[in-house]
Structure 1
């Protein structure tokens, strides 16, 4: 089985550098274009199924990637973004100003981060691990997964066999960056990481945070 893992397209809050979490904001024109371009680059891949976060920005991205294809889309709560609680909708600079210690741990020491009315990284890891265990039990050839920045970072951490302590060593991949993983004998192997070859003008809309 081959997993194609991507983040939703650029949103309005991405441009404004606001944390979204379980909140949502619309895809921008750039986000729509990225999703369409990724779909064009994957046009020759016959996807058996699409798993997506139930959040609108991810679902819309999945539909844009598929275009006119009728591939079944399944929403999965395990693919939701990390819930940021009272930080959701706030600009990053404002969070850093009001909650400097918590924000430092969020960015640099995830194993020590304690959310304010949100989820811990341990919570996120638990639900992502459960999702991956479910995938091991199905028999597909090609699976598209559309999810979120922190969720993808968690997926890649687990796939690489890293620990939560090593989570911060990985980047947050920009919108529609593509990761590809082979699943054989219940083991995961990352074969493509952070591919942005389909994105034009990437440096103008880099929301990797």
Structure 2
């Protein structure tokens, strides 16, 4: 059996400023580092064979904090990076709503109808993310794997395991910073044990971002 522990990076400066990040990057805030530390403490007794992380710094730094001083290899995987958002990257949410109101609505409420000319579509995202996921599963039978990545990537992975269509991609739960999902795969049988769990976070660090 392979066990996949999947988490999102901690809060970033651009999360706090309500900016779209996508393939661009911003540093973890003090709160983001604290969130990662809480997940580290939760997983301290869990043995991991490997950690796979998005190459973006916000995810890799989160992986480093969770790893702590343990001898676990962190593998950077560009296929686990966040959805490329093109012209939206770096813009505040309000600015995107003003300039791209129709696309913004489709992005969140009707993802199966969303199209972009400057970024990455949901179908492109699914192809690279699920391709990477299948490779990780294929290469790591009987191992415990931690994956540190991003909101839309996690939404796509969980939709894949739960067999949800694209139009339901944004169904709850919300993927909070350092929320934890756990999937156990035994041959062809898949069991979703956790999905977006934040029981390790104190009340004052559960801000949505």
Question: Normalising TM by the smaller chain, what interval?
Answer: over 0.9
For residues 148-188 of structure 1, the C-alpha deviation after alignment (integer angstroms, 9 at most, x for no partner) is: 01111111100101121221324440100000110111443
Deviating 4+ runs (over 4 angstroms): none
C-alpha contact 2:24 2:89 (8 A) present in aligned 1: yes
Map of 1:148 onto structure 2: 150
Contact 1:150–1:172 (CA under 8 A) maintained in structure 2: no
Aligned residues: 207
* CA shift digits 1:82-125 (9 cap, x unpaired): 00001001111110111110000001111111124100000111
Partner residue of 1:181?
A: 183
Task: Give the alignment of 1:117-128 within 5 angstroms.
Answer: 117-128=118-129
TM-score normalized by the length of structure 2: 0.95
Partners of 2:147 and 2:204 in 1: how far apart? 21
**Residue number in structure 2 paired with 1:69:** 70
Distance 1:151 1:38 in 2: 19
Other-structure match for 1:159: 161
Q: Residues of 1 paired with 2:77 and 2:17: CA distance?
A: 27
Deviation at 1:134, TM superposition (A): 0.6
Contact 2:173–2:195, Cα closer than 8 Å, also in 1:
no
1:153–1:171 CA contact under 8 A, matched in 2: no
Q: Does 1:95 align with 2:102?
A: no
Matches within 5 A, 1:13-32: 13-32=14-33
How far residue 204 of structure 1 moved from its aligned partner, in angstroms, is 5.9
Cα distance in 2, alignment partners of residues 65 and 16 from structure 1: 25
Equivalent position SS for 2:4: strand
**CA deviation after TM superposition for structure 1 residue 202, in Å:** 4.6
The 2-side partners of 1:94 and 1:58 are apart by 25
* Unmatched tracts of structure 1, length 5 or more: none
SS in 2 for 1:34: helix
The whole-number CA distance in structure 2 between the counterparts of 1:77 and 1:164 is 22
CA contact (8 A) 1:2 1:141 kept: yes
Query: How many angstroms apart in 2 are the aligned matches of 1:205 and 1:167?
Result: 22
Q: Give the RMSD, CA atoms, in angstroms.
A: 1.3
Q: 1:20 and 1:48 mapped to 2: Cα distance?
A: 30
- The 8 Å contact of residues 13 and 20 in structure 1, kept in 2 or not, is answered as yes
Given the alignment of the two structures, is residue 200 of structure 1 paired with residue 202 of structure 2, yes or no? yes
Cα distance between partner residues in 1 of 2:60 and 2:120: 22
Instruction: Give the alignment of 1:103-118 within 5 angstroms.
Output: 103-118=104-119
* CA distance, structure 2, for counterparts of residue 78 and residue 97 of structure 1: 31
